[in-house]
Amino acid sequence: MSAEGEFFLSIAGSIEHGEFYDVNNAYCKYGFHFGPEWSVIAGIEEGLTQMCKCSNDPRNLAVWNFPLEITFKSTNPHGWPQLIISVYGLDTFGHDVIRGYGVCHLPLETGHHEKRVSVYVPESSSAWQRFAAWLTGRRPELIDPAILATGGGRELTRMRVEGIVTVTFNVVLKDFFKLGYNNGEQRRKQRDLS
Amino acid sequence: MAELHIIGRISSAKDFKQPRLLCKWSFHAGSGWKILDGCEEGQTQESCDLYTNEPVWDHPIDLYYTTQTLQNSPKLLLQIFHRDAHGRILFGSYGVCNIPLSPGLHFIKCHTWKPIGNWKDRLRDKFLGITLQLKSPSVLVNSLDRFELLTESMGTVKIELHILARNFEKYGCHM
């Protein structure tokens, strides 16, 4: 089934929940960004969670419990896929506004992983613009959140941290070690056994 | 030739006095190391966290090196800048850290520092925000001329890197 020199990365996970400083409802949009040598062979590349009202207790959690399932194939680890999260929610006036962007690499090791991804929003550059944005609901947004996953073009963005999103991953790698790649986990297993 | 992938991110900063920070970063490696793919230098977003004062950058790094030698393995140079109350971007501090070569996930804390000169320079720093800077940041990589410097400690930068190695065993190198 697999061609020479290819390896597969299969992810089953979920976007568990978000914790925010001052947001009381949120939904989450996700997508993947990966290098040119990568391709998706199964699963859904982008999606949208339900809108969740934050829990009415000190945790202030927005639970999405949203499943992620995707399989990639590639010939080169360069361009390893990244998960891009954009959180939106309704503000006091009922406008749909951005609540945060976040990005993380998919784990490079097999097994269960939990990642906490900070999310941040672009800031208005002056107090007047901030007020106008609050009033009209037209807050600064990124045209394409994929800019977060590429190194360049982030010089002029000003961000403010708004919260944290917890994501879990279960990772399976196929043919990765056969190609001679070493991600450190085999040695760790040996050490654990001895 | 042995191959090394460095995949990860410059996550965040902590223990800086200034709230709004940004970071310029660059990788330096000896001539035996060749970069095949990926961006060797860049600049992060400007970020702040009003509650914890730990600005998050989450700037992705994805580098693909090939090498014939272990000498002069890649180092990461950091320059931290901050925005002051008047909206100016001012230099903050320097940091340099070695990239671990052993495969696996590494959480690195890079401590940073800034040069301070004589009392006149320190006054200018305090009242005008003009910090002394090195003529070329590559001084950071060599360890010869550091003794002349007088410095002050600044905050810490957190970095998260996955290292993937290939074919190092073939040449008898165990990392």
- Residue A49 is given by DSSP the state -
Instruction: Give me chain B's average pLDDT, please.
Output: 89
* pLDDT class of A2 with cuts at 50, 70, 90: low
Do B171 and B97 touch, CB atoms closer than 8 A? no
Determine, for residues B163 and A184 on separate chains, whether the beta-carbon distance falls below 8 Å. Answer: yes
> Which residues are within 8 A (CB) of A160 and not within 5 positions of it... i.e. 6 or more apart?
A120, A121, A123, B47, B48, B49, B50
- Asked if B18 has any chain A CB less than 8 Å from its own CB, the reply is no
pLDDT at A117 over 90: yes
Q: Which residues of B touch A185 (CB under 8 A)?
A: 104
**Does A124 lie at the interface with B, CB-CB under 8 angstroms?**
no
Contact (CB<8Å) B168/A182: yes
Q: What domain range is A85 assigned to?
A: 7-193
Residue pLDDT, tens place only, A55-104: 888 888 999 999 999 999 999 999 999 999 999 999 888 888 999 999 99
Q: What pLDDT, on a 0 to 100 scale, did the predictor assign at position A43?
A: 92
The pLDDT of B163-168, averaged and rounded, is 91
- Which residue's entry shows tokens 């939904």? A27
Instruction: Read off the pTM.
Output: 0.89
Q: Where are the domains of chain B?
A: 2-171
Cα separation, A120 vs A122, whole angstroms: 7
Quote the Cα angle for B84-B89-B93, to 5°: 90
B contacts of A118 (beta carbons < 8 Å) = 12, 56, 58
With CA atoms as reference, report the closest residue to A27 among A102, A103, A105, A85.
A85
pLDDT of A187 above 80: no
Asked if residues B100 and B106 have their Cβ atoms less than 8 Å apart, the reply is yes
- The pLDDT tens digits for B55-74 are 999 999 999 999 988 888 89
Inside any domain, residue A66:
yes
| Preferred mutation among B47, B66, B99, B168 to probe A, highest tally of A CBs within 10 A | B47
Which of chain B's residues have a Cβ under 8 Å away from the Cβ of A35? 62
Chain segment B90-127, per-residue pLDDT in tens: 999 999 999 999 999 999 999 999 988 888 888 888 88
Return the pLDDT at A194.
72
The values of phi and psi at residue B164, to 5°, are: -120, 130
Q: Given an 8 Å threshold on Cβ–Cβ distance, is B5 in contact with A77?
A: yes
- Are the beta carbons of A182 and B162 separated by less than 8 Å? no
Work out the minimum CA distance from B24 to partner chain A, whole angstroms: 9
Whether B175 has a pLDDT exceeding 80, the answer reads no
Examine the pLDDT at B27 and tell me if it is beyond 70. yes
From B38, B45, B62, residue closest to A157, measured CB to CB: B45
Judged by CB atoms closer than 8 Å, whether chains meet at B50 and A149 is answered as no
* Average pLDDT of the residues in A156-160: 88
Grouping H, G, I as helix, E, B as strand and the rest as coil, residue B111 is strand
The CATH architecture one would assign to domain B2-171 is: Sandwich (2.60)
Distance separating alpha carbons of residues B175 and B172, to the nearest angstrom: 10
Residue A107 makes CB contacts below 8 A (sequence gap 6+) with A113, A115, A169, A171
The arithmetic mean of pLDDT across residues A171-193, rounded, is 85
CATH code at position A29:
2.60.40.150
Quick check: B52 contacting A, CB < 8 Å? yes
**Is the model more confident about B141 or about A94?**
A94
Q: Is residue A13 part of a domain?
A: yes
Asked if residue A99 is part of any domain, the answer here is yes
Please give the tally of structural domains in chain A: 1
Å between B59 CA and nearest CA of chain A? 7
User: Which of A34, A154, A156, A175 to probe by mutation at the B interface, max B CB count within 10 Å?
Assistant: A154
The reported pLDDT for the residue numbered A92 is 85
- For residue B101, the chain A residue with the least C-alpha distance is A184
**Percentage of residues of chain B with pLDDT beyond 90:** 55
CB-nearest to A108 from B7, B20, B47 is B7
Residues 80-109 of B with CB under 8 A from A: 102-105
Contacting residues for A44 by C-beta, under 8 A, at least 6 apart: A69, A70
